[in-house]
Chain A
Amino acid sequence: MSIPIKPVFVDEKLREVQESGRLAYRSHALPTWCPGCGYFAIVEGLTHACNAMNLPRDQTAVVSGIGCSSRFPFFVDLYGFHTLHGRALPVATGIKTANDRLTVIAVGGDGDGFAIGGGHIAHAAKRNVDITYLLFDNGIYGLTKGQTSPTSAVGLRTSTSPFDNPERPLNPLLMLLSYGVSWLGQAYAGRPDHLRGMIADAIAHRGFSYLHILSPCVTFDKTSRTYVNLGLQVREIPEGHDPTDLMAAMRLAQDTDQPALGLFYHQKRPTLGDTFDEIAARARAKTAPATD
């Protein structure tokens, strides 16, 4: 999170990337995103995290909805499912239910997650399905060329709100906390080093982990969620924040003027897979022939 003082040379950097091993997680497909889009940092962050965690590529699946953000699976060399607008979470739930051994990562945009797919988040969180959800929040509909989203700021002018957005944005963090999420964090595409660590932590969590990633859409939002504005707004999680304190996390989530970056909350509790196993054990105990 500091401005580099040492100059960076391209050849050195290339060698470093090559030697790190993380390119193995990149696919050959070139990202289709606009130059400068925050999403590049997220794809780099995921490859870093996977590499650092040494995740087996054939045991990892990335599931997305529809949107610029949801193109993500094509750019990593993992198993991937680019599903329908808003439906990454239920598809991911099905995959994890079918095969517990897989690491399942759902990704998508703010419209994908909180507009059309909004009904699914509560249930993924309450079931504590052991997947990671990376939400790319640019406060706009990128793929459809710049319409208002559920997290657009009041007053944002877009093609569908030419008289400025009159609606208050949702507060995703507060929603997730009240849904019973078992791991909640926030990161910013403009802080890639911090972002990659957060992605790794989110994946490492056993249960439903939600990472909210603030990310500028450089093409369709020139006024609100820009690198300049976000760079001035974000702050670190205050020292002394207790991530096991739900009320403290909720208070922190209410500060939307100065979004805090870091781990808001985590909790250990049985996952959906654990409950399936418990139900199976109970069903078998009930039907087992009596032994004497």
Chain B
Amino acid sequence: MTTMSKTDIQIAICGSAGDGTIAAGDILRNAVAAAGYRVIGFDVYPPEIRGFGKCISRLRISTDQSYSLKRHSDVLLSLDDSQALPHAGEVRDMGAVIFESQPIAPCQEGEHMSARVLPGQIPYAFSMRELSQQATGGGRARNLVALGIIAGLLGLTPDPFRAIIARKFGKQGPEIVARSLAGFQAGFDGATRTFKLDDVFFSPPGQADTAQRVIMLSGNAAVARGCLDAELDTFFGYPITPATSIMERLAAELPKHGRRLLQTEDEIAAIAATIGAGYAGARAATATSGPGLALMSEMLGLATITETPCVVFVSQRGGPSTGMPTKTEQSDLNAALYGSPGDACRIVIAPTNVEGCYRCAGKAFEMAERYQTPVIVLLDLYLSNRYETVTLDESDHAFVLDANKPLPRLEPGETYRRYALTEDGVSPRAVPGDAGHMHVITGLEHNELGRPDDSETMHAAMSRKRHDKLQAALRHPEFAVTRRFGATGRVKVGLLAWGSTFGECLEAMFMAQAQNIPCAALKVVMLSPFPVREVASFMDDCDQVLVPEINHEGQFAQLVQGTLARPVTRLSRVPGSPMPVELILNEIRRLAQG
């Protein structure tokens, strides 16, 4: 994806919990974004809050937006060698490995980074602790010294760093700001005095990217923003990694608009209240992860049968059960699609990048209200927590949220039919407070009036209504249920992917194209109802279809095969981390030869 004149640099900062690794990564990504570069970043941290777990903040900085992290970093900065040693190998030839020259405790032989730098890599030893001591009178600004070193060594202008440091520490008072700035400056000066041997260079950011319109968001922050722009009224939630930060952001933002957020006693209550609020006519949502989704399954069926709009954001993590709370996975697809007893159809959409998180969040409310259905937005830890620079066009903010059909005027003596059988399967919806339209909704099978009715004809008619009305979602306005990238026409290998893994697929596809392999990729954003036509016509064009996903069972591959009865090649892995691009590329090459 990169040409010589363009920037494409990946930096990894690694340390122990408490070293300020993640904070340093946060400042760095915001500084380079402010300078006009595009960024994608992902932090890995231990499940324990305290202790000595490993923290890594990786970010890829480029002129054009990239779609995933690279396997090789250009720069590794170690704040703690005991954690960073295994990562020395990820630095490319002629890349920089920066480490502490004076560790706090004596090191065993071979346990210092200097012993692990590979031939070809360029080592830089700095006494970060000493620099911090001299500049600030303590060792706590070591991570800021490290940032200064990165900026100085790579030739980044220090101004955006200073501005962001001042903003980040502003709350803690002018003394802390001054100390932090001094730490940064000490590192910066130290690096500019150092003779540069690596070949990691920034070229100026692209002209087109006016830094003002580009903002840095995590996937969860983008979801929260989408909710706010869609004028979410009420949110109910129960904390769970990696979905919690959606709730935390909304907890701070919703009340500013006079809107309401309630932390409930469990996920059953969260979805129950969401459905209650939806029934009462409010725009309502909840957010959870796999274990919470399991608890919500009975309630989601109630939303389906009562045709009550509600939105559930599900950020997947490693499973089953409590599984791997801080590792990413795409193994809740089946639960999202099928996880309720009965023929409990619903809409399931999955964004593939941070910008998609924003759009899918807003669109989910449009769909929930227009088709009177629960909508699940499937994210995963990698997508929830990764940062990207996104351009939110002003016109993008217009989610169309006036989907409710006008209520029919009732003749005297006429009873309102909540579930009137209509052409498109969607019945005009009254909510409590609407004069004269009193009715009861129920989880029992019912007739048009909403009264219990378990006759064969009624159950068949209502089942059809609930399923058929969702088909319109496949043509939902201004929403691409699938999107094709890469070569047009016939290709050797077609990549079929969903969710966060699509980014890695795209990178792999571009690499394969550069190796003259005709290939294309289809991202599938709508998973239920399934875009049969679009997927089938894409597969028509492909000699081979490869489905990479982060789960063991190949849940999406099964969905495709089950729906279309056509063979695909699975690439199912459960590393707890994003799918390595090289792995996908190797599969593409193998299939292209076959």
A residues neighboring B (CB under 8 Å): 27, 29, 57-61, 63, 66, 73-74, 77-84, 87, 90-95, 97-99, 101-102, 119-120, 122-123, 272, 276, 279-280, 282-284, 287
Contact = CB atoms under 8 A, between A and B. Distances in A.
20 contacts: A74-B440, A74-B451, A77-B438, A82-B442, A84-B298, A84-B302, A84-B443, A87-B268, A87-B269, A91-B272, A93-B264, A93-B276, A94-B277, A94-B279, A95-B279, A97-B234, A97-B262, A99-B281, A279-B255, A280-B256
Interface in B282-331: 282, 284, 298-299, 302, 306
A16 to B, nearest CB: 25
Nearest to A58: B435
A59 B433 contact: yes
A56 B282 CA distance: 20
Nearest to B259: A280
B158 interface: no
Given A91-B273, A94-B284, 9 more contacts: A57-B438, A81-B440, A92-B276, A95-B279, A97-B234, A98-B277, A120-B269, A284-B256, A284-B258
B288 to A, nearest CB: 15
B440 A98 contact: no
A82 B444 contact: yes
Contact of B434 (A58, A78, A92, A276): A58
Contacts of B444: 82
A95 B276 CA distance: 5
B275 interface: yes
B437 interface: yes
A123 B263 CA distance: 10
B408 to A, nearest CB: 16
B125 interface: no
Nearest to B432: A79
Contacts of B438: 57-58, 77-80
Contact of A93 (B255, B259, B273, B432): B273
Contact of A90 (B233, B273, B434, B452): B273
Contacts of A119: 265-266, 269
Nearest to B440: A80
B6 interface: no
Contacts of B264: 90, 93, 123
A228 to B, nearest CB: 33
Contacts of A29: 451
B294 to A, nearest CB: 15
Contacts, number: 145
Contacts of B266: 119
A131 to B, nearest CB: 11
A79 B275 CA distance: 15
Given A93-B269, A284-B256, A83 B433 contact: no
Contacts of B270: 90
B437 A90 contact: no
Contacts of A120: 265, 269
A98 B451 contact: no
Contact of B276 (A66, A74, A98, A101): A98
Contacts of A94: 234, 236, 272-280, 284
Contacts of A59: 432-433
B431 to A, nearest CB: 8
A81 B279 contact: yes
B436 interface: yes
B439 interface: yes
A90 B274 CA distance: 9
Interface string B456-481: 00000000000000000000000000
A57 B259 CA distance: 26
Given A74-B452, A87-B272, A120-B269, A82 B441 contact: yes
Per DSSP, chain A at the interface is: helix
Nearest to A282: B255
Contacts of B432: 58-61, 79, 95, 99, 102
A80 B434 CA distance: 13
Nearest to A284: B256
B116 interface: no
Contacts of A63: 276
Contacts of A99: 280-282, 432-433
B440 A82 contact: yes
Interface in B211-256: 233-234, 236, 252, 255-256
Contacts of A98: 233-234, 276-278, 280-282, 284
Nearest to B435: A58
Contacts of B302: 83-84
A36 to B, nearest CB: 22
Nearest to B256: A283
Contacts of B279: 81, 91, 94-95
Contacts of A97: 234, 236, 260, 262, 273, 276-277, 282
Contacts of A60: 432
Contacts of A276: 255, 260
Contact of B256 (A91, A93, A95, A287): A287
A58 B277 CA distance: 16
Nearest to A85: B298
Question: Closest 5 A-B residue pairs measured CB to CB?
Answer: A94-B276, A94-B273, A80-B440, A98-B282, A90-B272
Nearest to B252: A283
A97 B269 CA distance: 13
Contacts of A123: 264-265, 269
Contacts of A272: 262
Nearest to A288: B256
Nearest to A93: B273
A248 B256 CA distance: 43
A90 B436 contact: no
Contacts of B452: 74
B297 to A, nearest CB: 11
Nearest to A88: B272
A92 B433 CA distance: 15
Nearest to B258: A280
A57 B444 CA distance: 23
A58 B436 contact: yes
B265 A80 contact: no
Contacts of B260: 97, 276, 280
A164 to B, nearest CB: 32
B593 to A, nearest CB: 55
Contacts of A73: 440
Contacts of B451: 29, 74
Nearest to B415: A28
Nearest to A129: B262
B580 to A, nearest CB: 43
A90 B284 CA distance: 14
Contacts of B435: 58
A93 B268 CA distance: 13
Contacts of A87: 268-269, 272, 299
B437 to A, nearest CB: 7
Contacts of A81: 276, 279, 306, 440-442
B433 A91 contact: no
Contacts of B433: 58-59, 99, 101-102
Contacts of A82: 440-444
A31 to B, nearest CB: 13
Interface in B112-156: none
Contacts of A122: 265
A25 to B, nearest CB: 10
Give the interface centre of A77, A78, A283, A287 by most chain B CB atoms within 10 Å. Answer: A283
Contacts of A84: 272, 298-299, 302, 443
A59 B272 CA distance: 21
Interface string B329-342: 00000000000000
